[in-house]
Structure 1
Amino acid sequence: MSAPVPATGLPELPVTFRPTGTRVVLLTIGTVLLVVLTALSLLLESFTTGDRISFISTGLLGLGVLALLSRPKVVAAPDGVTVVNLTTKRRLAWAQIVRVNLRAGDAWVYLDLSDGTTLAAMGIQTGIAKQRAIADARALRALVDAHGTGRSAT
């Protein structure tokens, strides 16, 4: 979610970037899946206790996987950036980020780091809301330019 942009052109810190539309869709589908499978397991009288447990477990597993997929975010704070991807979380100082990239065809933002590596920042992704992702990438790029030592490119 993007923060309002004040007159300086930079979002106020801390700001969290996350694919809200994708997150809503994934968590809604996961919840509906769990509710439907639970209701089916309880309403069908021919089911044994094991069948019911299997149906509910499958719903919980589905919800868990979709919740994991909805986890990515990028949090910019005064002291640096935290990138939360599916199963990893990495804290970066502003000076570690050399460039913010969101090129045509990229699924999400990539951060070029001072150690020569690249880090995917899945919290800014082009999936459902491409224009929002572009705006968020520009905001993060402006923050990196203002707080770090990096160069940014599209």
Structure 2
Amino acid sequence: MSELPEPPALPVTFRPGHTRAILLTAGVVIFLTISGIAVLLEGLGPGERLSFVVTGALIFWVLAKLARVKVVADEQGVTVVNIAGKRRLDWAEILQVNLRPGDPWVFLNLSDGTSLPALGIQPGLAKQRAIADARALRALAEARSAARLGEDQG
């Protein structure tokens, strides 16, 4: 395995900054555009105008859910916030942090034999940052693993 960087200070939050900015900006623009159309179109009743605004709000809500993804590491473990849910992991549960070429985001191999996608680290628009973040999370997981082994043996 390649040499890992010094783990970052805790707590640390990893999130796709560019993707988040684009999604939230697009959500606001879409909401304002659809709401503006509702106001400007003549011949629409109040219910129809409201349906335009609600549609714009729903689109914004979906894009905001996509933008909320993150990975938060602290002294006790890692919290993975994905699109539809949030999962708290103790450091002992994380066996490996993977970001292979072509992966859309980091995968965490867990002690129960499953793999958890961590969408908060994704190489889409900022590949080098995602690689650095994945290495930092890997360094944290390995440092915590080494500390656990020292405590168990001591």
Q: Deviations over 1:65-117 (max 9, x none)?
A: 10111111000001100011111111111111000000011000000011111
CA distance in 2, matches of 1:99, 1:9: 17
**Percentage of pairs with the same residue:** 58
CA distance in 2, matches of 1:103, 1:85: 19
Equivalent residue number for residue 133 of structure 2: 136
| Aligned-partner residue type, residue 124 of structure 1 | I
| Aligned-partner residue type, residue 142 of structure 1 | A
Q: Which runs of 5+ in 2 are unaligned?
A: 149-154
Q: CA RMSD in A?
A: 1.4
| Matched ranges for 1:120-131 at <5 A | 120-131=117-128
| Equivalent residue in structure 2 for 1:48, among 45, 50, 73 | 45
More helix by share: 2
Query: SS at 1:63's partner residue?
Result: helix
| Equivalent residue in structure 1 for 2:89, among 75, 88, 92 | 92
Query: SS at 1:107's partner residue?
Result: coil
RCO comparison, higher one (Cα < 8 Å, 6+): 2
CA distance in 2, matches of 1:33, 1:115: 42
> Normalized against structure 1, the TM-score is what?
0.89
CA distance in 1, matches of 2:50, 2:115: 43
TM-superposed deviation, 1:54: 1.3
From the CA coordinates, give the structure whose radius of gyration is larger: 2
| Aligned-partner residue type, residue 85 of structure 1 | N
Equivalent residue number for residue 4 of structure 1: none
| Matched ranges for 1:4-153 at <5 A | 9-148=6-145
Q: Give aligned pairs, total.
A: 143
